[in-house]
Structure 1
Amino acid sequence: MLELRRITAGYDRRAPVLHGVSLDIAPGEAVGLLGPSGCGKSTLARVAALLHRPDSGEVVVDGTPARGWRHRAPREQRTAFGVVFQQPRLSTDPRLTLAAAVAEPLRATGRRAEAGPRTAELAEAVGLTPDLLTRRPHEVSDGQLQRACLARALALRPRWLVCDEMTAMLDASTTAALVGVVEDYRRQTGAGLLAVGHDRDLLERWCDRTVTLESLTAPPGGPRAPAAGR
């Protein structure tokens, strides 16, 4: 279970964008998160994936409270997540080939021996041909680069996927292909999914249930959430 308990978070403690938000996702469940631009959906996604420390509240991953954020999170918790962001060009190193970008999590966790076979396996799954793997981000389209970003997110076989507006910049055929890859992975592994977006039709077709950020927010005057740990 992935549990977000009364999360208050933002980038300025004086003006948080999330106020007492709670959400539970069961293993194998796909949850769509809807909301207008600027409402805090991406912030909640980053908190859920242990990439942003909330001002207060708690994240519980498979029964264990989060004990750190970003690189301070224990490896077991940190690598439980695969994340795909909206803008692939902002989330990839422009110096790396697509093959190196896909293999980056494996190398970072000391699993270099797996990098070649795993990269080839994932490239085939997401629809990247061998010639594309030798190119750098500026030499491929947004759709091709987002395929590499999805492959990178799956490299460590995560138990939880967070897709933050993953398809917002893509055409319909690429969107369908990438959603299909995510669903194949989930069927094979039982991974849970938090899919953030503003396209209600897509999320309702894709996910087991769809919620709005507003519906997850605690009413004013509710019990105070504990401060988040480091």
Structure 2
Amino acid sequence: MGGIIKSSVARKFAMALSGLFLVFFLLQHFTINFTSVISPDIFNELSHFMGNNFVVQALLQPVLIFGVIFHFIMGFILEIQNRNARGVGYKNYNGNANSSWMSRNMIYSGAVILAFLGLHFYDFWFPEISHKYIHGLPEDPTRYYEETIVKFKDLWRVILYVVSFIFLMLHLLHGFASSFQSVGFNNKYSKGLQGFTKAFAIIIPLGFIFIALFHYINQL
């Protein structure tokens, strides 16, 4: 851990690994959520499995929470480090010429995503913890679909979700590809990988937006 704290290269490498882990979780989360627009029964089955499987709850979920916290802490540390470096060593630094808007504003898109995660936890994770561990209510394998779609009944919440996923798209458009560069993936497949990361960064957030709008419109 001392090396990660002291070395900027180690911090970037660790942040890239945590980012790739979160992208994998994002894909898994999207896959399950997308079934809610296809079949409530399949969505309930998958949600029940994820919510009651010991490995998922006791092992993977803590790792996920740690990964989220670690990724954002590393992001803020690297942003402060980069700002200090520009102030000292780059008097003629021109952000517009040397980098994209997305790369220069990762800290802001990340902050929006972090705020969204707070809303998402409030909407889904905290009620789930309350249901199972605080109130000790009986488990109902068919409850997940109704509990999910009711969150998209209010337009203001849907708008917040849509805006948040747009910022997630912007964050991924730079962050996903740069994560592979940070871990040293640089070969003949790099160009194809960049195309894949851009497609992923656009399609997955748009998919989440579609899910939110689908459930909102269906309840009008």
- TM-score calculated relative to the size of structure 1: 0.28
- The structure richer in helix per residue is 2
